[in-house]
Structure 1
Amino acid sequence: FLAERNNVDSVSKLITKLEQNNLTSETIENGDNKGNRQSYTLVWLNKNVNSPENHDICAEFRQIIDHLKLFDNTEECEKQMKKVKNEKIFLIINGQFATEIVPKVHQNPDLLAIYVYDVNDDTKHQWIDEYPKVKHIFDNIDSVKNQLKLDVHDLHSKVDDSTKINGIQDNKSDDEHTHSEGHKQLDNY
């Protein structure tokens, strides 16, 4: 029991430090997130998000992050993202919305990454250089899914590694170790 308690304390300290370093999650509070079992929310902004052809894509996204929020207009999307309390957000947006919403939400501390999906990638996209949370502009949805899957896996691995290392650390205090691991995770993400 004592070992379990120490592990819980270590995880709690890690979470506190990660919160201070912007790597935890918040919940979009609009009433239908009670079943969220993860610490992430995937937000998809797409004018045709509710079309029948996107239903399978939504199911595939839920395989990666089970809490998926769908929006077809920028105002509602931005409004809901501001309500986040306990989750980190991954945002997928269609190219038509990108230049409108990215400047408005990029500074949101709960936003980890932005994936722009634009099949008409014939325009110049130098503007993304100003926004480091924009991972890439993708020309197909499968590439978005693959990158999202990699990013979520990498983030889970970094948190898991920090927790494991923190649990066996002998010669450093938990606070010192957690602090240094939190900075390493931030530097590596």
Structure 2
Amino acid sequence: MAQFKILWLDANSSDPMNSFRSKLADALTFTDVNDCIQYVQSHSNEPIYLIVSGSFAKEIVSEIYESSNLEQIFLFCGSVSTYVEWAMDYRDKIMIFDHGDDLLERLWNDLQNKLRKQATLCLQRANEYEKRALQYKRPCG
């Protein structure tokens, strides 16, 4: 199972004093749209969650929207109403937020649910393999 990546594309994402950056922990930050597009396209085996500022959204979303590794786009902007109509074409992968804590709550809940599903599948497979192994267990003596 591939490990997911969180990408944050924003002109201010490289600022170490940005409080939102510290809340994102190990997210990869980008200030250049083309660099972010390149990353998404060159890491096709990694599920990606993209946080993008409103100022870059229209530029990047159309370029990467069809990427099979793009799990979810979190558009972080100052005004949700500014992007609602435009985002309708991308509604199955995009969510729009104007408050960082709301975005982070949704992101962490989505990732938690995804990891729990993966863990459940791993445990099911482990139990299956245990049963197979027991079929071959021979008594000593």
Range of TM-score over shorter length: 0.7 to 0.9
Q: Structure 1 residue 133 and structure 2 residue 93: aligned?
A: yes
Equivalent in the alignment of 2:8: 44
SS in 2 for 1:127: helix
Q: What fraction of aligned residue pairs are identical, expressed as a percent?
A: 25
Alpha-carbon distance in 1 for matches of 2:83, 2:40: 27
Equivalent in the alignment of 1:159: 118
Per the normalisation by structure 1, the TM-score is: 0.61
How many residues were matched structurally?
A: 129
SS in 2 for 1:146: helix
RMSD: 2.1
Q: Is the 8 A contact 2:44 2:68 kept in 1?
A: no
- Runs of 5+ consecutive residues of structure 1 not aligned to the other structure: 1-14, 16-24, 26-38, 174-189
Q: Rg larger in 1 or in 2? A: 2
Matches within 5 A, 1:147-186: 147-169=106-128
Per the normalisation by structure 2, the TM-score is: 0.80
Q: Give the letter for the 2:6 counterpart.
A: L
Equivalent in the alignment of 1:57: 20
- Runs of 5+ consecutive residues of structure 2 not aligned to the other structure: 133-141
SS in 2 for 1:125: helix
Greater RCO (CA < 8 Å, at least 6 residues apart) = 1
Distance 1:90 1:124, change over 3 A: closer
